[in-house]
């Protein structure tokens, strides 16, 4: 499996990173180097092996249903690039 | 999921097209907000309608380094709902990340369950009246986070983002594509809502968005291969669901009959125009890159946990329906009306206990529910309680008052309150069963109306006229049965 | 008074406690040292002098009242990845421009509760992605070490390059760091310092900017094994805010340091004898085994057959998780925003400008391996391989191995702007070849300086332990440290 400029462009959009047209081939080359490296895994027989879901053998701890957080809208927006009346503001979204 | 057609095509549900009949195939994804105090993965409040970003924690706002911890109540509610849908409960489930960018999705992914949901296949029965009982398969139920809210009309070229809903727990209940008409879809939504409300796992409030549906619609030649579906997003009323399905099916039929093909896409229903339209922002092919959320471990519980929840489950609508029919001898239709909510059903039971079931059902449905609806009230804030209504029914059953007087009595109590038997006593509303008094009235009426007496001998149904005269003379208080008997004897009928 | 920065963390703590000197004096000494050195070394991205002095004064007040915690008055450097309330927290990235969290990470909160003082925030590879500290938006950190008779600037390793350089150059008594594939141990090895990556779940990840959630684990970098034990004692602990934090009591790590290795079985995995490994690394490894044997340990050859596949599997799992973890940096809630005509343009401009080349590369790889049609071939496969890697370790531990000794890195520190590594990302990734297996299996491991290469640069050995058995690592690490008996103070040139 290898990637070309078109695939890189598509991935760039999925990841929402603007990629300049002139860099696509170079990026494809770099990604292919990495993908080539990870393709060593094809040598490993993984039949019957469960994929790891957690590195520690435990199950999920649950939390009590209590209100213990929130109530600080000013702190939520204090780092926002743009906000008004404790709303975040973004370029208009067309649905 | 593999699509299996479980239904036999029913010509009554076909849609006429220019080239022949068409059949709708509908599947629903209902998003139900879990009833809980705090959010699925954070300790902030789920309360509706607070000021912007006030019910938001650093976790909900996806601040760097923040981590999710799961709310045990949401797990319990999901399992209880699964039990209510007669579904398989999965003792081990996994939370996955669904990755996409949207401003009201602060993490850049939604924590959901993809491969291993908490609840598997189940079943819901719809009572479609004369069309009988229809079985709709449940594919799965999973827990996931709600997104925040984008507000587009506060600024000419900016959208405003409020994350108060961000992270509130939702149950996504996915049906199999077993629904074949807009009416069935409406009935399905109503049934799911009733079940959720019985269980207390979701308030079912569609106006506030606690319950909303994504509707998958496709059309096909009756019994044929499944067609390409379109998904109508976020429908938040049953009326809109019906309208959206009808419009969408017709739109697809028109395209197909013109030789076109359906693009699988996400659409939005516009309540103003009654039409669906393609959603620009969702148009690109989605690639959600699901993978297990490494911030969470597998969710596991044992059979005992499930058994305990099952034991404490309330009686569900279907079971209650069956019991009402057998225990109170009422019709299936009446039972369906009575079980529409747990409060209504329990009001009925309070009234019917130790009384005539049919009479009780009649009064509860027609007089009581009718009046509540007219006044936009409900059982909880009704001016008449079950004890008072029971008292009225007792007076009818004992022959103390007639049905007509009972309605007057109902009116008095609705407005003024009071104990039915005392009111009847005090206001002299009791029927006259004293045969002597009735005989005296009848004798007078016969004496004053010789022509009618002749006529009634030829046409016995004219006895009604005499009954009316007696009731008038007694101001409605004469016992109708006694009146009838004495009249028949005196008139020789 | 002698230079107060030239003390171990323990000696600093004890001295303050005994009122040999005040916490404020120590802090002031460090602040002057930082002021002098930072323009050359670039270890700190933010120096919090005022706050440090306030905290130090508070420590002195507490000690005057006979109070004070386990690290009272000890000045520490904090990796820029840890959220520290109201102060610079930008993960070495442009995209977190100006971000000052309204919350404190659990680990730093633990440290402050024990009386430690924060000197400032330490430079690092952007989002902890890198092995040379060259991917930082704030520029490369320079290793305080130079080869004998050379003026060439070397990298301090990464991603915790600022932490390692600061500790090595006496710019803090100890530093917090994080390790996703070797980011504590490799820079520790490159700078002659001690670094331990605890067992996954030992230290809370709450408030630590995430790189790859299933691999990230915080730990200390210090000048001695004992210092690491003391600092980890304060950092570690169960945190109910982190679902992957393990509810286990934290043992007294410091008490284990002088326990020795008598009777312990030390495993030597044959798969770590890599082709082309420099002879001096091999020699050092043998030397380490000899030291442990001399102190009564049993040395046993073992096999960890899937070792070779750890790094390729890592380069699927880590970028995949990172691509998702970094989705939150979108210009909406905090940090950098580069405007655009539409929301998508704003996202794409912000993330193109805000992320550096290495982060972009990893986000793209991660996005690709998770995307439709590739998920099973890459991600699921890698997670299966991970199961096998973990199983390898479980097997040898079940067979009676107490700890495993390996080299920490395949070489000593290399030059800044190394041409070969710049040309081929995989060359850079190979720095983690000995360290990454441990992250994949969630195990604890310590890097301890053990020798120097022909050019006089520090080299380290790595000890890998059983889950939650950091104590054995401190004990065995101390034996290596003591047996080596070398001074790992870089010659001051800055």
Structure tokens at B311: 């034991």
Structural domains of chain B, count: 3
Q: Is residue A39 part of a domain?
A: yes
Interface test with B, best of C241, C364, C378, C386 (most B CBs within 10 A): C241
- Residue B90: closest CA among B124, B112, B120: B120
The answer to whether residues B400 and B454 belong to one domain is no
Q: Is residue B297 part of a domain?
A: yes
Active site residues of C: 79, 159, 183
Q: Does domain C1-494 have CATH number 3.30.930.10?
A: no
In whole angstroms, give the CA distance from residue A76 to residue B56: 7
Mean pLDDT of B359-371: 95
pLDDT of residue B215: 98
Structure tokens at C389: 């890697």
B354: left (phi over 0), alpha (psi -120 to 50) or beta: left
Per-residue pLDDT reduced to its tens digit, B108-125? 999 999 999 999 999 999
Which of B285, B307, B329 terminates a domain? The answer is B307
Q: Is residue B139 part of a domain?
A: yes
In whole angstroms, give the CA distance from residue B474 to residue B488: 18
Touching check for C20 and chain A: CB below 8 Å?
no
Touching check for C378 and chain A: CB below 8 Å?
yes
pLDDT of residue C265: 98
Structure tokens at C160: 């915790």
Q: Is residue A77 part of a domain?
A: no
Contact across the interface for A67 and B38, Cβ inside 8 Å = yes
Does residue A1 surpass a pLDDT of 80? no
In whole angstroms, give the CA distance from residue A19 to residue C348: 8
Per-residue pLDDT reduced to its tens digit, C191-236? 999 999 999 999 999 999 999 999 999 999 999 999 999 999 999 9
Chain mean position to CA B168: 23
Touching check for A81 and chain B: CB below 8 Å?
no
Which of B373, B397, B426 terminates a domain? The answer is B426
Q: Is residue A63 part of a domain?
A: no
How many residues are present in chain B? Answer: 493
Which ipTM was obtained for this model?
0.97
In whole angstroms, give the CA distance from residue C416 to residue B242: 67
Mean pLDDT, chain B, as a whole number? 93
Does residue C347 surpass a pLDDT of 80? yes
- Residue C234: closest CA among C493, C10, C459: C10
pLDDT of residue A94: 78
DSSP-derived secondary structure letter, B445: H
Interface test with B, best of C126, C178, C247, C333 (most B CBs within 10 A): C333
Q: Is residue A38 part of a domain?
A: yes
- Burial class of C209 by CB neighbour count within 10 A (0 to 12, 13 to 18, 19+): buried
Contact across the interface for A87 and B151, Cβ inside 8 Å = yes
Question: Strand B70-71 and strand B92-93: pairing?
Answer: unpaired
Mean pLDDT of C391-414: 97
Nearest Cα of chain C lies from the Cα of A55 at a distance, in angstroms, of 6
Touching check for B298 and chain C: CB below 8 Å?
no
B283 pLDDT tier (thresholds 50, 70, 90): very low
Q: Give, in degrees to the nearest 5, the angle at Cα B220 between B214 and B222.
A: 120
Mean pLDDT, chain C, as a whole number? 97
Which of B395, B426, B457 terminates a domain? The answer is B426
Structure tokens at C216: 């990230």
For C397, residues 6+ apart whose C-beta sits below 8 A from its C-beta are C466
**Contact yes or no for C397/C278 (Cβ under 8 A):** no
Q: Is residue A66 part of a domain?
A: no
The answer to whether residues B344 and B222 belong to one domain is no
Structure tokens at B386: 């079950």
Nearest Cα of chain B lies from the Cα of C307 at a distance, in angstroms, of 22
Q: Is residue B98 part of a domain?
A: yes
Tell me the C-alpha to C-alpha distance, in Å, between residue C413 and each of A73, B154, C97, C121, C153. Answer: 47, 56, 30, 23, 10
In whole angstroms, give the CA distance from residue B476 to residue B312: 51
Structure tokens at C371: 């995307």
For chain C, the straight-line distance linking the first and the last C-alpha, in angstroms and rounded, comes to 22
Contact across the interface for C91 and B64, Cβ inside 8 Å = yes
pLDDT of residue B282: 52
Contact across the interface for B299 and A60, Cβ inside 8 Å = yes
B281 pLDDT tier (thresholds 50, 70, 90): low
Range of the domain at B459: 435-491
Contact across the interface for C332 and A80, Cβ inside 8 Å = yes
Percent of chain B exceeding pLDDT 90 equals 76
Sign for the pseudo-dihedral over CA of C421, C423, C424, C425:
positive
Domain ranges of chain C: 1-494
Within the 55-84 window of chain A, which residues sit less than 8 Å (CB to CB) from chain C? 55-56, 58, 60-61, 63, 72, 75-82
Per-residue pLDDT reduced to its tens digit, B56-66? 999 999 999 99
pLDDT of residue B284: 56
Nearest Cα of chain A lies from the Cα of C347 at a distance, in angstroms, of 6
Structural domains of chain A, count: 1
- Nearest beta carbon to residue B297 from set A54, A66, A92: A54
pLDDT of residue B402: 83
The answer to whether residues B239 and B279 belong to one domain is yes
Contact across the interface for C347 and A16, Cβ inside 8 Å = yes
Enclosing H/E stretch for B372: helix B370-374
Sign for the pseudo-dihedral over CA of B304, B306, B310, B314:
positive
Tell me the C-alpha to C-alpha distance, in Å, between residue C446 and each of C92, C220, C394, C438, C463. Answer: 24, 10, 18, 10, 5
- Residue B140: closest CA among B182, B172, B103: B172
Residues of chain A found within 8 Å of residue B297, distances taken between Cβ atoms = 53-54, 56, 58-61
The set of chains that have 3 or more CB pairs under 8 A with B is A, C
Interface test with B, best of C370, C373, C377 (most B CBs within 10 A): C370
More confident residue, B90 or B280: B90
Touching check for B152 and chain C: CB below 8 Å?
no
Per-residue pLDDT reduced to its tens digit, A54-85? 898 888 999 999 999 999 999 999 999 999 99
The answer to whether residues B47 and B96 belong to one domain is yes
pLDDT of residue B480: 78
Least confident range of B74-88, B468-482, C37-51? B468-482
Residues of chain A found within 8 Å of residue B280, distances taken between Cβ atoms = 94-95
The answer to whether residues B246 and B376 belong to one domain is no
Q: Is residue B232 part of a domain?
A: yes
């Amino acid at each position: 499996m290898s990637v070309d400029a078109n695939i890189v462009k598509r991935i760039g959009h999925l990841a929402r990173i603007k990629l300049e047209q002139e860099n696509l081939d170079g990026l494809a080359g770099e990604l292919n180097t990495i993908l080539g490296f990870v393709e060593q895994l094809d040598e490993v027989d993984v039949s019957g092996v469960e994929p790891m879901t957690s590195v520690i053998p435990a199950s999920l701890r649950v939390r009590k249903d209590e209100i213990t957080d929130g109530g600080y809208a000013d702190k939520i927006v204090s780092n926002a690039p743009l906000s008004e009346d404790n709303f975040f503001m973004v370029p208009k979204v067309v649905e | 999921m593999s699509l299996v057609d479980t239904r036999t095509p029913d010509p009554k549900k076909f849609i006429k097209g220019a080239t022949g009949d068409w059949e709708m195939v509908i599947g629903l994804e209902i998003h139900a907000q879990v009833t809980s105090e705090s959010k699925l993965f954070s300790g902030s409040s789920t309360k509706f309608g607070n000021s912007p970003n006030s019910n938001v924690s650093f976790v909900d706002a996806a601040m760097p380094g923040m981590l999710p911890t799961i709310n045990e109540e949401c797990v319990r509610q999901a399992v209880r709902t699964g039990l209510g849908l007669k579904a398989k409960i999965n003792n081990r489930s996994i939370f996955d990340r669904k990755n996409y960018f949207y401003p009201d999705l602060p993490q850049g992914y939604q924590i959901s369950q993809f491969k291993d949901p908490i609840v598997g296949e189940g079943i819901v029965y719809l009572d479609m009246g004369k069309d009988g009982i229809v079985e709709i398969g449940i594919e799965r139920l999973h827990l996931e986070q709600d997104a925040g809210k984008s507000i587009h009309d506060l600024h000419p070229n900016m959208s405003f983002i409020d994350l108060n809903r961000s992270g509130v727990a939702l149950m996504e209940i996915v049906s199999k594509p077993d629904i074949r008409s807009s009416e069935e879809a409406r009935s399905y939504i109503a049934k799911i809502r009733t079940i959720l409300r019985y269980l207390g796992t979701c308030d079912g409030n569609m106006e506030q968005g606690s319950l909303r549906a994504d509707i998958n619609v496709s059309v096909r030649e009756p019994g044929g291969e499944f067609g390409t579906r379109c998904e109508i997003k976020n429908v938040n009323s049953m009326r809109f669901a019906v309208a959206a399905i009808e419009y969408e099916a017709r739109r697809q039929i028109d395209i197909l009959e013109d030789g076109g093909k359906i693009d699988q896409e996400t659409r939005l229903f516009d309540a103003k125009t009654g039409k669906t339209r393609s959603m620009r922002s969702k148009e690109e092919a989605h690639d959600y890159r699901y993978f297990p959320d490494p911030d969470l471990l597998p969710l596991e519980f044992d059979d005992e946990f499930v058994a305990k929840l099952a034991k404490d489950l309330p009686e569900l609508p279907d079971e209650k329906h069956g019991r009402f029919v057998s225990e109170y001898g009422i019709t299936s239709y009446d039972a369906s009306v009575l079980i529409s909510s747990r409060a209504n059903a329990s009001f009925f039971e309070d009234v019917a206990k130790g009384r005539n079931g049919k009479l009780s059902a009649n009064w509860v449905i027609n007089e009581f529910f009718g009046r509540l609806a007219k006044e936009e009230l409900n059982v909880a804030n009704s001016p008449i309680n079950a004890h008072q209504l029971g008292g009225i029914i007792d007076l009818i059953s004992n022959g103390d008052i007639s049905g007509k007087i009972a309605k007057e009595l109902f009116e008095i109590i609705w407005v003024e309150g009071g104990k039915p038997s005392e009111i009847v006593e005090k206001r002299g509303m009791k029927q006259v069963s004293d045969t002597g008094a009735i005989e005296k009235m009848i004798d007078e009426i016969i004496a004053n109306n010789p022509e009618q007496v002749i006529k009634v001998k030829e046409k016995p149904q004219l006895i009604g006229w005499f009954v009316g005269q007696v009731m008038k003379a007694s101001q409605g208080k004469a016992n109708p049965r006694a009146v009838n008997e004495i009249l028949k004897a005196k008139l020789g009928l | 008074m002698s230079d107060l920065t030239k003390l171990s963390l323990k000696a600093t703590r004890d001295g303050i406690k005994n009122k040999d000197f005040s916490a404020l004096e120590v802090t002031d000494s460090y602040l002057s040292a930082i002021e002098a050195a930072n323009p050359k070394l670039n270890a700190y991205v933010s120096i919090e002098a005022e706050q440090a002095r306030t905290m130090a004064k508070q420590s002195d007040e507490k000690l005057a009242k006979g109070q004070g915690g386990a690290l009272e008055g000890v000045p520490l450097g904090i990796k820029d990845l840890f959220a520290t309330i109201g102060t610079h927290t930008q993960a070495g990235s442009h995209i977190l421009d100006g971000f000052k969290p309204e919350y404190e990470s659990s680990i730093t909160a633990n440290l402050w509760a024990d009386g430690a003082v924060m000197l400032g925030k330490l430079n690092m590879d952007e989002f902890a992605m890198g092995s040379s500290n060259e991917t930082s938006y704030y520029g490369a950190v320079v290793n305080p070490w130079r080869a004998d008779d050379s003026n060439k600037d070397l990298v301090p390793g990464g991603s915790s390059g600022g932490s390692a350089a600061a500790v090595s150059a006496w710019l803090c008594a100890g530093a917090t760091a994080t390790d996703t594939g070797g980011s504590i141990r490799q820079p520790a090895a490159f700078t002659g310092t001690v670094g331990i990556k605890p067992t996954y779940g030992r230290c809370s990840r709450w408030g630590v900017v995430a790189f790859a959630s299933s691999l990230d684990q915080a730990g200390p970098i210090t000048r001695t094994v004992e210092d690491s034990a003391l600092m980890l004692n304060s950092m570690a602990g169960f945190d109910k805010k982190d679902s992957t934090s393990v509810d286990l009591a934290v043992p007294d790590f410091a008490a284990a340091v002088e326990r020795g290795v008598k009777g312990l079985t030390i495993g030597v995995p044959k798969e770590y004898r890599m082709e082309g490994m420099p002879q001096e690394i091999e020699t050092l490894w043998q030397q380490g085994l000899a030291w442990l044997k001399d102190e009564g340990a049993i040395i046993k050859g073992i096999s960890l057959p899937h070792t070779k596949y750890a790094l390729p599997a890592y380069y699927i799992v880590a970028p995949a998780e990172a691509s998702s973890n970094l989705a939150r940096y979108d210009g909406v809630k905090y940090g950098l925003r580069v405007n655009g005509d539409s929301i998508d343009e704003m996202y794409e401009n912000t993330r193109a400008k805000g992320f550096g080349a290495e982060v972009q590369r990893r986000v793209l790889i991660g996005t690709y391996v998770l995307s439709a049609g590739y998920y099973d071939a890459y991600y699921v496969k890698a997670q299966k391989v991970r199961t096998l890697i973990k199983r390898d370790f479980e097997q040898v531990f079940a067979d009676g191995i107490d700890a495993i000794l390996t080299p920490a890195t395949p070489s000593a520190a290399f030059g800044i702007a190394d041409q070969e590594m710049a040309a081929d990302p995989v060359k850079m990734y190979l720095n983690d070849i000995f360290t990454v297996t441990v992250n994949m299996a969630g195990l604890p491991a310590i890097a301890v300086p053990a020798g120097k290469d022909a050019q006089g640069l520090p080299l380290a050995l790595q000890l890998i332990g059983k889950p939650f058995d950091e104590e054995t690592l401190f004990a065995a690490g101390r034996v290596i440290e003591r047996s080596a008996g070398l001074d790992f103070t870089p010659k001051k040139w800055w």
